[in-house]
Amino acid sequence: MHLGWFATTGFGVYGWEDPWAGNVASDLGRPGLFVDLATSLERAGFDYLMLEDSSVLPDVYRGTFESSVRRGTHVRFDPVPLVPLLANATQHLGIVATVATTFYPPFLAARLFATLDHLSGGRVGLNLVTASADGAAQNYGLTKHVEHDRRYEMADEWITVCKELWSSWDRDALTLEPGGAFADHERIHTIDHVGEHYSSRGPLNLPPGPQGRPVICQAGASPAGRAFGARHADTIIAAQTGVDAMRAYREDISRRLLENGRKPEDAKVLYLVNPILGDTDDDAFRKRDRLRQVQSGHVDRVLAALSYFTSMDFSQFDVDAPLPDLSGNNGHQGTVADMVRTGKTLREIATTHKATESIELCGSVETVADRMEEVMAEVGGDGFLIAAPVTRKNVTEITDGLAPALRRRGVLRHRYEHATFRDNLLST
Ligand SMILES: Cc1cc2nc3c(=O)[nH]c(=O)nc-3n(C[C@H](O)[C@H](O)[C@H](O)COP(=O)(O)O)c2cc1C
């Protein structure tokens, strides 16, 4: 089983005024919490830490920044400068930073991540997103965001340019012969890419990193998002609810991989979960009931999140009426399609919806480890992406409680067998 950790609000703020997150103010913008997270994940045998990102402080919900900053939810430091600090504190863990293809010039990203691949000793990855908020697009000079499927079309060309740049030096171009040349100039090539959206001459002005090209991670669940993932991703992260949907998703991705001349095992599919752990099953159930009660008092938080995902102000809708017409949504189409399918009202969705749960995991570490093993066998997927808020208590529960229970069952690695992130990820 492969495990990743999804830092759901990136290099940001977790759990302001929640119990067990008492050091938010002193951790703010500092690497310590994330270094603690990364070293714990490595001790536990995780494949990677994925850092979410966005470039906007949203004011879509009710037309103010209040819901964005009340709990610090939309504060984001840039995750990329954090990557070498985390790499420096670890030896094996993969570190994935999110990059919005719509806003980064491909040459800049290709060079930056090739550099990070060197700095990390072959352990860096990019989570490729097209970004969804109009506000983010406006920060980069657009009047509104590019249309959903066209964003993926652009992303496809974007990553193609990056891949060409990462291959612009042959693997044996660096000769480093004493008394000879540093590199063989005949094994370095321009790429001369002139496409519909991007042009780049190349080559990169640095040799390829240990992985050749960094690991590519992808999350979009719409048909265009899945097609993109099947063409380019080494790992796909998915929020599909229930074992049947999870299995269908894996089968769909496997089919798409084959259509692209790839093998199903070329991309590891990890499903989002947010385990609720207790010393006993009863402890965990009581904790779950408490958390549900808290959630039911915060319909606003979910409506604000949906407003961000869709760039539509959800405060304008009657929360007890059937769902409004959301067909104009140009944001997270997979998420909205899932909501519409439930047939629930907004209030029902807001009080029960869990964007970070493919299956409910609740109980002692032994109960939860059993369930994870069972579900993976049923789904034929590759593992889970833990999406618990980054507090040191949550990190300890998962890495010192749940992970050892999985290891005792022989389903989680005891040690890293390979030198690079991709080789560890793609090993069985
Ligand atoms: C697990 C997960 C992580 C994601 N991380 C990010 C992120 O860091 N930044 C971002 O802009 N979008 C993020 N997204 C959104 C997706 O990249 C994508 O834009 C969204 O799911 C809509 O895609 P779709 O319309 O193809 O479903 C994430 C989605 C999921 C399910």
pLDDT on residue 19: 87
Phi-psi bin for 372: left (phi > 0), alpha (psi -120 to 50), beta? alpha
How far apart CA 124 and CA 25 sit, in angstroms, is: 28
Per-10-residue mean pLDDT of the chain, 428 residues long, equals: 97 92 94 98 98 96 96 96 98 98 96 98 97 90 90 96 98 92 97 98 97 95 93 96 95 98 97 97 96 87 89 90 79 75 84 80 98 96 95 97 98 97 95
Which of 48, 127, 151, 333 to probe ligand 1 with, by most ligand atoms within 8 A of CB?
127
Phi-psi bin for 311: left (phi > 0), alpha (psi -120 to 50), beta? left
- Residue 83 Cβ contacting ligand 1 at under 6 Å: no
pLDDT on residue 297: 83
SS3 per residue for the chain: CEEEEEECCCEECCCCCCCCCCCHHHHCCCCHHHHHHHHHHHHHCCCEEEECCCCCCCCCHHHCCHHHHCCCCCCEECCCCHHHHHHHCCCCCEEEEEEECCCCCHHHHHHHHHHHHHHCCCCEEEEEECCCCHHHHHHCCCCCCCCHHHHHHHHHHHHHHHHHHHCCECCCCECCCCCCCCECHHHECCCCEECCCCEECCCCCCCCCCCCCCEEEECCCCHHHHHHHHHHCCEEEECCCCHHHHHHHHHHHHHHHHHCCCCHHHCEEEEEECCEECCCHHHHHHHHHHHHHHHHCCHHHHHHHHHHHHCCCHHHCCCCCCCCCCCCCCCCHHHHHHHHHHCCCHHHHHHHCCCCCCCCCEECHHHHHHHHHHHHHHHCCCEEEECCCCCHHHHHHHHHHHHHHHHHCCCCCCCCCCCCHHHHHHCC
- Residue 8 Cβ contacting ligand 1 at under 6 Å: no
How far apart CA 326 and CA 312 sit, in angstroms, is: 9
**CA angle in degrees (0–180, nearest 5) for 10-148-72:** 25
Q: Euclidean distance between the first and final Cα of the chain, in Å? A: 8
How far apart CA 270 and CA 385 sit, in angstroms, is: 6
CATH number of 2-170+206-278+356-426: 3.20.20.30
- Residue 58 Cβ contacting ligand 1 at under 6 Å: no
- Residue 124 Cβ contacting ligand 1 at under 6 Å: no
User: Closest by alpha carbon to 276, among 266, 286, 264?
Assistant: 286
CA of 98 to the centre of ligand 1 (A): 10
Give the atom of ligand 1 at the shortest distance from the alpha carbon of 228.
26
How far apart CA 422 and CA 122 sit, in angstroms, is: 8
CA of 219 to the centre of ligand 1 (A): 5
Residue with tokens 């990364």: 38
Quick one: angle between helices 223-232 and 243-259, nearest 10?
Answer: 60
How far apart CA 143 and CA 303 sit, in angstroms, is: 24
- Residue 412 Cβ contacting ligand 1 at under 6 Å: no
Parts of the chain belonging to CATH 3.20.20.30? 2-170+206-278+356-426
pLDDT on residue 253: 97
Rounded to 5 degrees, φ, ψ at 369 are -65, -40
Contacts of 29 (CB under 8 A, 6+ apart): 77
Contacts of 96 (CB under 8 A, 6+ apart): 4, 48, 49, 50, 51, 124, 125, 126, 127, 215, 217
Give the atom of ligand 1 at the shortest distance from the alpha carbon of 332.
22
pLDDT on residue 227: 96
- Residue 330 Cβ contacting ligand 1 at under 6 Å: no
pLDDT on residue 355: 65
Q: Whose CA is nearest to atom 23 of ligand 1?
A: 220
- Residue 225 Cβ contacting ligand 1 at under 6 Å: yes
pLDDT on residue 357: 85
Query: What is the identity of the amino acid at 167?
Result: S
